[in-house]
Structure 1
Amino acid sequence: MSTNQSQTTGYLYTFQAFFTWGLLPVYWKLLNHVPALEILAHRIFWSLIFVLLLLIWKKKLNIGNLFYNKKATSTLAITGLLVGSNWGVYIYAVNINHIVEASLGYYITPLVNVALGLIFLKEKLSKLQILALVLAATAVIYLTIDYGRFPWISIYLAVSFGLYGLLKKMSGVEAMPALAVETLVLTPFALSYIVWGLVSGKGHLFNDTIQTDALLIMAGVVTTLPLYWFGLGAKRITLTSVGFMQYIAPSIMLFLGLFIYHEGFPKEKQVAFVAIWIALALYSYSIFASYRKKKQG
């Protein structure tokens, strides 16, 4: 495959991933009659099943070796808890009509990554990146004071996903084997919940419609496939390009929240979003300028 063909394929895979992540609220809305915790349990369990099948197909089912590496195993246990709680809060936010607040969290995530890089990896920030962080923090403080409550959904989604990315980077394990271990760590909880639902008759699997059964089981596919596509795409295009494309998902979520599900968008949220967008524009420009400088040098 030529370089141009590889890059084109990379852009398509990466776009597919972010576009699918952006549309996920529609999927969870179809299950809004099911408690968020039950949806989460199915998402974890069926993700494990699907990722194992994917690894078998790709002949990469060698996750057993990871358990001999205590550091990697410990790290993946923590990232499993982080990604599981992130999924749970996200599903909860969608099903209580807080898609807009969830989208804000994913807009903030790149800026949280910058802050985490500064704190844990001792990375140096440019003046523009420092200004972007200050502007984002100011927006959150303003939203908390003027809106009357702390935007915990946004902040938790951003911080948990930021920490998840940081620890995954430090673990050095490929995305799919890592997800297999992460979901395996969470599966005892998930499977216990599912079995309890089946035995007690209080669960929705096989006690509701065929559509509900299919949606619960396919939760593993809609979770794993975008991550698989992202892994394929990110290998073929620059990190800068991936950085710009990551705004696709929260933009789609914001559109869905405002125009499809008609969530409120009061003045204080509008001001906070504009401030975050300006911060992201500054951050993106700083990354692009740095990339261009390195290329010219």
Structure 2
Amino acid sequence: MKSFLEGKNGFGEGASERKNEMESEAEASRAEAGRGALAAVGCYLLWGFCPLFWALLDNVGSIEIIGQRIVWSLVLTVVACKFILKVDFVGLLRDARARRFLIPSGLLIMLNWSLYIVAMVTNNVVEASLGYYINPLVSIVLGLVVFRERLTPLQIAATVLSAAGVIYFTVNYGSFPWIALVLAFTFGIYGAVKKRGGYPAVPTIAVEGIVALPFAIVALVAVAIAGQSVFFSPDMSLEAWQTRVLLVLTGPITAVPLILFATAANKTPLSLIGFIQYISPTISLLSGVLVLGEPFTSAHAVCFACIWAGAVLVIVDAIRKQVRQR
């Protein structure tokens, strides 16, 4: 009888320990998701203010800006891998599975960067912001289809509201928004590829930089041969050096948000990232209208109202989840 009671007591203690372990794992998972969401917020805040930075380089050609940002973002991430994180990013290039994910992601982000810079220097900030309004919807759909994520009723309502606003804005834009659509789909697919790969943030950005480097070198050499390079010009004036410093800063301006995005993609559902993404185009659009003098129409107002009504629903849903979990 005594041994039976001891065995029963031991079983109870074992079950309690397993329950505590499961609760600890669930708490750790929620903490990871929280850190991923914070990384996403930081990423899109930085991206939102980027048009103000690119406006400072209005005297530099788009091809040179694209080449410079690829080179300097690669330099930054390689230095971070070698001397700060002490990780072997070259090993990813030797891994067949990693190459299947990182080569396409490198090409996708290079195309996205290039078109974005072209939009900035040709005063198409509003259309670029439209692309990043469409992009969250692409991310949400990819999350549902590719990763089998599920939306709550409030998130479904938010998605419908956001889609309605984006569709209304797109229809009233006045011309076919090809820049917006290419930006939306290239970055949406890029996020899905990053999430499917699941590799650490900084090494993957370094590898993507290596993938894009040959294109950057060709672009910079072509610009220099044509005598249109600002960075390699013989001009030694203060203004020229200021521009060179800004071109070097395109490295961190490019790499830091991408590192935050990769961190978020690994830890956060793609559908949730989709909702957080609305931070960036909203700031970009306000920057284009309030600082750069681009027009703000009734279509913008309707789009804003729908998207932020949806954002409120997502916030309410997140608060309800937190209350239930506690």
Q: Flag whether TM exceeds 0.5 (same fold).
A: yes
Distance in 2, matches of 1:286 and 1:91, equals 36
Listed one character per residue, the Cα deviations across residues 35-63 of structure 1 (whole Å, up to 9, x for unaligned) are 22221111111111111111112143401
Q: CA deviation at 1:253?
A: 1.9
Q: CA deviation at 1:90?
A: 1.9
In the alignment, what sits opposite 1:34? Answer: 60
State the one-letter code of the partner of 1:219: T
Equivalent pairs, count: 291
On the 8 A contact 1:42/1:190 being kept in 2, the answer is yes
Distance in 1, matches of 2:272 and 2:159, equals 21
Distance in 2, matches of 1:18 and 1:200, equals 36
Distance in 2, matches of 1:225 and 1:142, equals 33
Distance in 2, matches of 1:143 and 1:256, equals 18
The correspondence for 1:215, drawn from 246, 250, 262, is: 246
On the 8 A contact 2:103/2:211 being kept in 1, the answer is yes
The correspondence for 1:259, drawn from 270, 290, 294, is: 290
Distance in 2, matches of 1:161 and 1:238, equals 16
Equivalent residues in 2 for 1:34-183, closer than 5 Å:
34-183=60-209
Listed one character per residue, the Cα deviations across residues 156-197 of structure 1 (whole Å, up to 9, x for unaligned) are 333322221111111111111000111100100101111222
TM-score by length of 2: 0.75
Distance in 1, matches of 2:159 and 2:267, equals 29
Q: CA deviation at 1:270?
A: 2.0
Unpaired segments ≥5 residues, structure 2: 1-34
Q: CA deviation at 1:13?
A: 7.6
On the 8 A contact 2:140/2:270 being kept in 1, the answer is no
On the 8 A contact 1:38/1:194 being kept in 2, the answer is yes
**Structure (1 or 2) with the larger CA radius of gyration:** 2
Q: Which moved more, 1:138-147 or 1:35-44?
A: 138-147
Assess, with a 3 A threshold, how the Cα gap between structure 1 residues 13 and 286 changes in structure 2: closer, same or farther.
closer
Assess, with a 3 A threshold, how the Cα gap between structure 1 residues 118 and 244 changes in structure 2: closer, same or farther.
closer
Distance in 2, matches of 1:182 and 1:10, equals 21
In the alignment, what sits opposite 1:282? Answer: 313
In the alignment, what sits opposite 1:22? Answer: 48
Listed one character per residue, the Cα deviations across residues 48-82 of structure 1 (whole Å, up to 9, x for unaligned) are 11111111121434012212321211211111112
Distance in 2, matches of 1:77 and 1:256, equals 33
Assess, with a 3 A threshold, how the Cα gap between structure 1 residues 243 and 178 changes in structure 2: closer, same or farther.
same
Listed one character per residue, the Cα deviations across residues 204-230 of structure 1 (whole Å, up to 9, x for unaligned) are 222252222222222112222344567
Equivalent residues in 2 for 1:174-253, closer than 5 Å:
174-207=200-233, 209-228=240-259, 247-253=278-284
- % same residue: 39
Assess, with a 3 A threshold, how the Cα gap between structure 1 residues 82 and 265 changes in structure 2: closer, same or farther.
same
Tell me how large the CA RMSD over aligned residues is: 3.6
On the 8 A contact 2:139/2:273 being kept in 1, the answer is no
On the 8 A contact 2:142/2:270 being kept in 1, the answer is no
TM-score by length of 1: 0.82
Unpaired segments ≥5 residues, structure 1: 1-8
SS in 1 for 2:293: coil
